[in-house]
Structure 1
Amino acid sequence: MSQAKPPGRPLLAPVLGGLGLLAGMLLIHVGGRWLPPDPASIAPVQDAGDMPTSRSPLHDTRPGQPARKIAEHVIAPPPLDPSGIERVEPRPPLSELGLAPPPKTPMPQDWRETLLFRPVATSSAVFEAMGRTVAISGTIDIDPDRICSSDDAAWPCGQRARAAFNAWLRGRALKCLLPPDADRFAIAAPCALGKQDVGAWLVSNGWAMAAPTGIYGKAEAMARDAGMGIFGPPQ
């Protein structure tokens, strides 16, 4: 008479048991003899949540353990004697581009940019427009009656400078920074034609000179070296 078989057990338990028996039979070769492993030397498998965080081999953060120094004689800076250190003057800049620009003179708060239409030059750096007379600030105009000489040839450079300024304006509008009552008297003001600085154009082309306290000194030097405008031959 056949008996009912007990319900089958899961296969996982026998497999784990066999692996444990196999691990217990492993031998360790020590001093020419095969010895069973020391149970104390086998670290138990820890759960992932109990695993310790990784530590850098160069710095142990365990309490009571100082940081380990690696190659201190190579990495650490050599000792210096303060008495042997001498401060030297900084080298000059490689070019003038490295120099800080001079601070700009602040303009009064009530001055506003004003469009002046159909300007007419009365001299090389002075014009009239919409009942106002404006001199380009930072420049010295050339008197219309001035006569220049070059290579023993005299020519009316003042009239030529005024004509060059008028030809450049061509009846267009200038944008100038003016006070509210600029129509009552002549005033020196910075102006621009589009994005071009008027004073820079006049001085760099030799049709005006730079004021001693202005910002166009280098432009005048370049115009002199190049023989531009009044610094060159008759035009």
Structure 2
Amino acid sequence: MKSTGRLATTLGGLGLIAGALLIATSSRWLPSELPSYPPAREAAEARPASGVAVHDMRPGQPARRIAEDLIAPPPLDVTGIERIEPRPPLGEIGLASPPETPMPQDWRETLLFRPVATSSAVFEAMGRRIVISGTVDIDPDRTCSFGDAVWPCGQRARAAFNAWLRGRALKCVLPPDADRFAIAAPCMLGKQDVGAWLVANGWAMASPTGIYGKAESVARGAEMGIFGPPQ
């Protein structure tokens, strides 16, 4: 009988505890205890019309300022704006260094294989276009007159240059980046100066500042190349 009474007492105590917990849990979610917020329309109507900043103090949210007149920047009058030159840099460290121009002492002898003359003193080889320095090129469309004869001396001069080259390699003194543009350079075919051969045979003229002036005088006197009869 005593064991039965103790069991009943224990069960009754557990029932009381469970009931208390159920009541506490239910009261926690009663609608009367939930936080209430005003509807959006009422909140908008509650804002002051003067645009004065108010604080939003909703629970759980950080306070933020609301000012409708500060949302967009004021209109800007462009007539009062003046464009000025940028200020100079504070130092040279931020400036890009200009590319260094290769100097003649930096040029090197380069073998150019299978040259093809495009005019009397210009040839192309290995993707580069070289003008023989110290010479004045004869355009392929040029015509020359000798006595009563007019003949296409420009085409003949180009053909003579190609026939002399015969696809042999030329050694020219070129800058490292000569493949980017046409350049005037001295060239040798074996031990023969290409510019001297062209001017001396009358297939190119000497540049006024070049070294082949005497060779041109000899070619004129001997009526060679473009200074002579049709060939």
Q: Which residue of 2 aligns with 1:164?
A: 160
Considering only aligned residues, what root-mean-square deviation do their CA atoms show, in Å?
0.7
Q: Which residue of 1 aligns with 2:193?
A: 197
Render the CA deviation track for 1:6-31: whole Å, top value 9, x for unaligned.
xxxxxxxxxxxxxxxxxxxxxxxxxx
Paired residues in the alignment total: 129
Distance 2:104 2:162 in 1: 29
Task: Tell me the secondary structure at the aligned position of residue 123 of structure 2.
Answer: strand
1:164 CA drift (Å): 0.1
Structure 2 residue 217 is the aligned partner of structure 1 residue 224: no
Distance 1:119 1:220 in 2: 24
Q: Which residue of 1 aligns with 2:107?
A: 111
Task: Tell me the secondary structure at the aligned position of residue 104 of structure 2.
Answer: coil
Task: Please report the TM-score for the alignment, with normalisation by the length of structure 2.
Answer: 0.55
Task: Tell me the secondary structure at the aligned position of residue 127 of structure 1.
Answer: strand
Task: Please report the TM-score for the alignment, with normalisation by the length of structure 1.
Answer: 0.54
Q: Which residue of 1 aligns with 2:182?
A: 186
Task: Tell me the secondary structure at the aligned position of residue 172 of structure 1.
Answer: coil
1:192 CA drift (Å): 0.4
Task: Tell me the secondary structure at the aligned position of residue 218 of structure 1.
Answer: helix
Render the CA deviation track for 1:148-204: whole Å, top value 9, x for unaligned.
011110100000000000000000000000000000000000000000000000000
Q: Identify unmatched segments of 5+ residues in structure 1.
A: 1-106
1:108 CA drift (Å): 1.6
1:110 CA drift (Å): 1.2
Q: Which residue of 1 aligns with 2:129?
A: 133
Render the CA deviation track for 1:43-92: whole Å, top value 9, x for unaligned.
xxxxxxxxxxxxxxxxxxxxxxxxxxxxxxxxxxxxxxxxxxxxxxxxxx
Distance 1:108 1:146 in 2: 33
Q: Which residue of 2 aligns with 1:13?
A: none
Q: In structure 1, what residue type is equivalent to 2:229? A: P
1:109 CA drift (Å): 1.7
Distance 2:204 2:104 in 1: 26
Task: Tell me the secondary structure at the aligned position of residue 105 of structure 2.
Answer: coil
Task: Tell me the secondary structure at the aligned position of residue 221 of structure 1.
Answer: helix
Q: How does 1:59-98 map to 2 (within 5 A)?
A: none
Task: Tell me the secondary structure at the aligned position of residue 109 of structure 1.
Answer: helix
Task: Tell me the secondary structure at the aligned position of residue 233 of structure 1.
Answer: coil
Distance 1:162 1:141 in 2: 10
Task: Find the structure with the greater CA-based Rg.
Answer: 2
Q: Which residue of 2 aligns with 1:147?
A: 143
Q: In structure 2, what residue type is equivalent to 1:137? A: S
Distance 1:109 1:160 in 2: 36
Distance 1:197 1:164 in 2: 16
- Larger helix percent: 2
Question: Which of 196, 203, 206 does residue 207 from structure 1 map onto?
Answer: 203
